[in-house]
Structure 1
């Protein structure tokens, strides 16, 4: 598939993931807070270089931008390979990202609570990443039809 299409679709998946997260994050206390995990990860990375972001709005914006860029690149890889397995790859990538988001924070020295507080939080976290991957696959399917 076309690399431009891969990244456009990946951007669509990343945006879908973030719209879903931002829309639901304050609905109840069990909702995933991927934003808080990202902010902690960014601050710890910056501290390694002797700096930090003190303004909460700037921290949120930088984290959101990094999240969209990294998820665009990750989801963009779904388009690599045989088109017959596009949705299979999307499911595998989405599950891998979601399970990674739930299981890796503790191993990386981050607070896992925002994404793994309860079984509901864990399931929703995985579901969000799966949704982004499936949106990416759907967009890739549409883009491949439009280029024929």
Structure 2
């Protein structure tokens, strides 16, 4: 395995998790500052986890455990998702597209998935913030990827 291919996975994971952490910080700070309009992706995540546990007939955790597991899962899943940003000059475009796709999905999919619409869809501002923050996460992943590339030169 050459040097070029051996750095792809660490760079992808670093940039993906950087985007995920930025996204999570945005969500968590906004829900504390403006709870009436901020997207509540944590609520959607907890509902999804409860639904999966119910389907598996597994015991339900208490609220604090559920929240912590959801946050860890969000960071993991979003980090892996944003790791597809990749590297190179096209990382910015991929980051923007991945972020926009995730944001639109965050607004459109919860209702059909049976998770409720209100957490990401209750006001026009909530919808806009949902899309914008996932976009910021994608761009943060692209920026982290570019920083990695520059540091490696």
Q: Please report the TM-score for the alignment, with normalisation by the length of structure 1.
A: 0.94
1:52: how far off?
3.9
Which residue does 2:130 correspond to in 1? 125
CA distance in 1, matches of 2:50, 2:147: 38
Q: Give 1:104's match in structure 2, choosing from 101, 106, 109.
A: 109
Which residue does 1:144 correspond to in 2? 149
CA contact 1:21–1:32 (8 Å) conserved in 2 = yes
For residues 38-57 of structure 1, what are the structure 2 equivalents within 5 Å?
38-57=45-64
CA contact 1:33–1:114 (8 Å) conserved in 2 = yes
Q: Deviations over 1:16-74 (max 9, x none)?
A: 11111111113230111110010001100111000243311100001001100000100
- Where in structure 1 do 4 or more consecutive aligned residues deviate above 6 Å? none
Q: Please report the TM-score for the alignment, with normalisation by the length of structure 2.
A: 0.91
Unaligned stretches of 5+ residues in structure 1: none
CA contact 1:98–1:125 (8 Å) conserved in 2 = yes
CA contact 1:43–1:52 (8 Å) conserved in 2 = no
Which residue does 2:95 correspond to in 1? 90
Q: Give 1:134's match in structure 2, choosing from 139, 142, 146.
A: 139
* RMSD over equivalenced CA pairs, Å: 1.2
44-53 or 100-109: bigger deviation = 44-53
